[in-house]
Amino acid sequence: MFTLTVPFTLLVASAGVLFAAPQSQSRPARPGLIRDTDKAEGKDEAEANKPKEYNPLEAERNFRVGDFYLKKKNYAAAIQRYLEAIGYQPNLVKAYDVLGKVYEKTGDTDKAKQLYRDFLQKNPESSKVTEFRARLAKLGGPASN
């Protein structure tokens, strides 16, 4: 005896022999591809421009997802996640640090310079001030705007 995993309809022939005919089945719909790069490609501008509420947990989550994308060399998605993290926690030094490095790595030195200037202006007492000033000098930009 055998068992069938697909539903079948049994048909009886005139000689008493049983035939099995498969029933039509519809496949369940496949889940859509989840792409985080839509935000990075600017397809979700309205959501990105809304001011965010201070939320360190959401900032940390976005930072970690940014690290994941950075390891996968998906720089556009990593940049977007680091910007999200800064949006939720504007004083998140590690996000500024890594975001500046990613901008430098991708060759977008103008954005890196602007990021360092913004950080220096907003956080003049940070422990990273000397490091960010050195990076800014290396990129050929003035230390303050």
Tell me which of 1.25.40.10, 1.10.1530.10, 1.10.10.350, 3.30.70.100 is the CATH number of domain 37-138.
1.25.40.10
pLDDT at 141 over 80: no
pLDDT in tens, 79-121: 999 999 999 999 999 999 999 999 999 999 999 999 999 999 9
Query: What do you get for the CA distance between the two ends of the chain, in Å?
Result: 83
Distance CA 14, CA 9 (A): 16
pLDDT at 56: 96
pLDDT at 72 over 90: yes
What are the residue ranges spanned by the domains of the chain?
37-138
Average pLDDT (32-46) is 59
Highest mean pLDDT pick, 17-21, 36-40, 48-52, 59-63: 59-63
- Please state the pTM of the whole predicted model: 0.64
Q: Where are the alpha helices (DSSP H) in 41-141?
A: 45-49, 56-71, 75-88, 93-105, 109-122, 129-138
